[in-house]
Structure 1
Amino acid sequence: MSAVPPTVRVLHVLDSLAPGGLENGVVNVAQRLNGQGFDIHSACLRFRGDFAERMPEPEKVVVMGKTAGFSFKAVRALRKHILRVQADVIHSHNLGTLIYAALATLGGRTHPIVHGEHGQVQKQDLTPKRLAQRRWLFKVCRSVHVVSSSVRDNLQDLGLDPQKKIVVTPNGVDSQRFSPAPDRAAARQELGFPGNATVIGIVGRLVALKRHEMLFAAFEKLASQWPSLRLLVVGDGGAERDHIIGLMKAHPFADRILWAGHQNDLPKYYRAMDLLAAPSEIEGLSNAVLEAMACGVPVLAHSACGNAEVIENGLTGYLSDIHDAVTLAACIEAPLKDAASLARCGSGARETVLKRYSMEAMADCYRKLYRDAAKAKE
């Protein structure tokens, strides 16, 4: 009879557990692993966030009290918390939290660090100082993982993975929870749309890189020619929140835009859509894209992002180099004119998720990362 592996205590280090794609991924993995050979804790540097209540044991989410700028107080608090919970593995997410994790573990010497990069390096992080920080800090990690090959390639192109050790751990989606609508007209009516409406959706935080403003301009170009067209905006929070809400309110077709804010019951919203627009300028592997695909909703995405690894143009969704509102409007209109293409891509999208992006496959990736890191500590 084989011995049962010891429980591995994992401490996530996050800015917060406010709703977002990164945070959703952390919750999904925690729900799969906690109590199954793993004990999951979380240290939020700045504040707790609504997704803390979705963690399997919300009482194991603790706030470190980080203030504006760099905070030695938060480093000390994190160090004490690591020792208090007797963490076996520290899991940091993106550069900001890695800085704190590295300092609190004396450069990874006292506790192994598993680090995740959840998107391509953004423009503000392309300075020599920021690149040098990542280059040094990656060296102190037991492993570095990314959500897509495009993110790995981006880091390698920047010289941040000279030994080609970065691991790809794709996101997964719960295909039972996210499933196609039995009646899309009824799903639309439940949200207050006409049953025969044509609904374009966007899901995500209200930040510039999601390019809501471009989508609003594209919608304006299409709405006058498509009386049945509606725009469904799901998401809240982010640096551009007030600006984006203001644009919706002032939009010439504001009466045909529904801003739903943050929603926990996302399947209900995907099921009302004919097409999900994902024009993000930079993206690793979008949870919203996978969730929509699992619901049988085809996705239009910017081809420069990791979504190009998921979507096969014209078969499981639509890819294009989206640079402006004119291009985006044309890319939206083309599939809307071809009902057979939409149906084919919706079915293909669902099949892709079932085959390649299961929640259990994602959980297996993290099981291996954590156990390998815990062995390094022994």
Structure 2
Amino acid sequence: MPPSSAFAIPAEAAIAGRQDRRIRLLLLTDTPVLAPGGSERFLQNLATRLPRDQYRVTLVQLHADHMPLPGQVSTRLAGVRLQSLPVHAVYDRTGLRAWLALRALLRAEHFDIVQSQHEKADLLNALMPRNAGTVYISNRRDMGFKKSERLQQVFRHLNVRFNSVVAPARQILSGLAQGERLDSLQMTWIPNGVDTRRFHPATAQARQDARRALGLEQHAVVFGCVARLTAVKRHVDLIDAFAQLHRGNPQARLLLVGDGPLLAPVQERMQALGVADAVVLLSFREDVEAILPAMDALILASSSEGMSNAILEAMACGLPVIATAVGGNLHLVQHETSGLLVPPRDPISLAAAMQALVRSPQLGQRMGMAARSRVEREFSLDAMINSFDQLYRRLLNQRTQRSA
């Protein structure tokens, strides 16, 4: 069924939905699901890769942007019903309108599972009237760095409304146990998955082609970062570290993939430190798998991180990763085995880690091979989808047993 920006359920569709024997899953998110970003890619993968003969998926975004035009089907969400319900704040008129519309949707469609991610979606999910036959899940994607103390207190009371709280990193769950007093029995750890067929080590020819397409010298040492240009990603630290490295290694290059509100300050910093000619700025790209082969290593300088899809994709491509020792990075990057961990907000340590890979290309190659091997063992996309499928069925079975 083509996605629609109109939030309306025709009576015929509601009847057809009740007659459909598949598991009815409602995914609710704050952000535009077709926008760039790790949590958006996660939702795209989950919504489209659950078995279509067993799941009927509806995805509602509490945002107006990045919606397909009327009658236009997004190839990234083929087979998924996508709807938009813009919300400015849960506590204003748009939030009340969203609550009423979602309540009507739940009554009409009788969903088996309602799963939300991000603060607005979680709040609306928690405040929905409970149906005895429905499972309610909160999917936490980051360390909660945006939550005020007051909002944490609100969630301490609302978390009991969820049958399970899922997170891709154990560090996120530990933070929830401490900050929101989440019951350990509610916690479920399901790590992110990466498509190892789409993201794979590049051949020498693919590496040459990728560099040629980006205007990078074949002999250059190329560090890359795939992240939105926002404060939490700390591009300012990365630029400072790269400037230190570049002074002694003029063959070094930095490739930044992503866009965001801090584009202008990043450009100003590059100019001020005299490295603008050594940095390639790319906007958002859907073909990241064609860009990663141009890199010798991936860098993520975030001050807070859940479980980074960018890191997983780089590891799947056989690249070593330099990342800050925060959140899920601690689980993904095995220090001195598959990459290097450095303290956050520390450009000097970041530059030193970059210098270590410049001095020893063999070290980076060994780390990259170890990274690829670990992704194949532990972080495949099939394993992630299977884990969610098992979670859904377990919770639904528990509900059935309680109501029997």
Tell me the TM-score normalized by structure 2: 0.85
CA contact (8 A) 2:90 2:123 kept: no
Q: Which residue of 1 aligns with 2:218?
A: 195
Q: CA RMSD in A?
A: 2.3
Q: Which residue of 2 aligns with 1:38?
A: 55
Shift of 1:361: 0.6
CA contact (8 A) 1:92 1:98 kept: yes
Shift of 1:9: 1.2
SS of structure 2 residue aligned to 1:42:
strand
Match of 1:355 among 377, 381, 404: 377
CA contact (8 A) 1:108 1:141 kept: no
Letter in 2 for 1:227: P
Q: Which residue of 2 aligns with 1:22?
A: 39
Deviates more, 1:273-282 or 1:319-328: 319-328
In structure 2, C-alpha distance between the alignment counterparts of 1:192 and 1:12, rounded to whole Å? 41
In structure 2, C-alpha distance between the alignment counterparts of 1:112 and 1:242, rounded to whole Å? 44
Q: Does 1:113 align with 2:144?
A: no
**How far does the alpha carbon of each residue in 1:14-65 deviate from its partner, in whole angstroms, 9 at most, with x for none?**
1121221111111111221051411111111122436993543376110113
Match of 2:335 among 293, 298, 313: 313
In structure 2, C-alpha distance between the alignment counterparts of 1:42 and 1:265, rounded to whole Å? 24
In structure 2, C-alpha distance between the alignment counterparts of 1:343 and 1:38, rounded to whole Å? 41
Q: Aligned runs of 1:1-378 on 2, under 5 Å?
A: 6-15=21-30, 16-17=32-33, 18-49=35-66, 53-57=74-78, 60-68=81-89, 70=91, 71-103=95-127, 105-106=128-129, 111-122=134-145, 124-127=146-149, 129-183=150-204, 184-237=207-260, 239-248=261-270, 252-375=274-397, 378=400
Shift of 1:318: 1.1
**How far does the alpha carbon of each residue in 1:114-154 deviate from its partner, in whole angstroms, 9 at most, with x for none?**
111111121x4241x21122212211011111101111111
CA contact (8 A) 2:324 2:344 kept: yes
Shift of 1:220: 1.3
Letter in 1 for 2:25: V
CA contact (8 A) 1:284 1:305 kept: yes
SS of structure 1 residue aligned to 2:28:
strand
- Residues 63, 179 of structure 1: alpha-carbon distance in 2 compared, 3 angstrom cutoff: same
Letter in 1 for 2:165: V
SS of structure 2 residue aligned to 1:125:
coil
Shift of 1:173: 0.4
Gaps of 5+ in 1: none
In structure 1, C-alpha distance between the alignment counterparts of 2:111 and 2:199, rounded to whole Å? 33
SS of structure 2 residue aligned to 1:243:
helix
SS of structure 1 residue aligned to 2:200:
coil
In structure 1, C-alpha distance between the alignment counterparts of 2:117 and 2:280, rounded to whole Å? 32
Letter in 1 for 2:208: A
Aligned residue-pair number: 370
CA contact (8 A) 1:20 1:205 kept: yes
In structure 2, C-alpha distance between the alignment counterparts of 1:59 and 1:364, rounded to whole Å? 18
CA contact (8 A) 1:181 1:187 kept: no
In structure 1, C-alpha distance between the alignment counterparts of 2:182 and 2:267, rounded to whole Å? 40
Deviates more, 1:159-168 or 1:145-154: 159-168
In structure 1, C-alpha distance between the alignment counterparts of 2:320 and 2:266, rounded to whole Å? 25
Shift of 1:369: 2.2
- Residues 65, 126 of structure 1: alpha-carbon distance in 2 compared, 3 angstrom cutoff: closer
Deviates more, 1:366-375 or 1:106-115: 106-115
In structure 2, C-alpha distance between the alignment counterparts of 1:146 and 1:113, rounded to whole Å? 14
CA contact (8 A) 2:126 2:159 kept: no
In structure 1, C-alpha distance between the alignment counterparts of 2:396 and 2:65, rounded to whole Å? 26
CA contact (8 A) 1:186 1:195 kept: no
The structure number with the bigger radius of gyration is 2
Identical amino acids, percent of aligned pairs: 29
Shift of 1:375: 3.8
Tell me the TM-score normalized by structure 1: 0.91
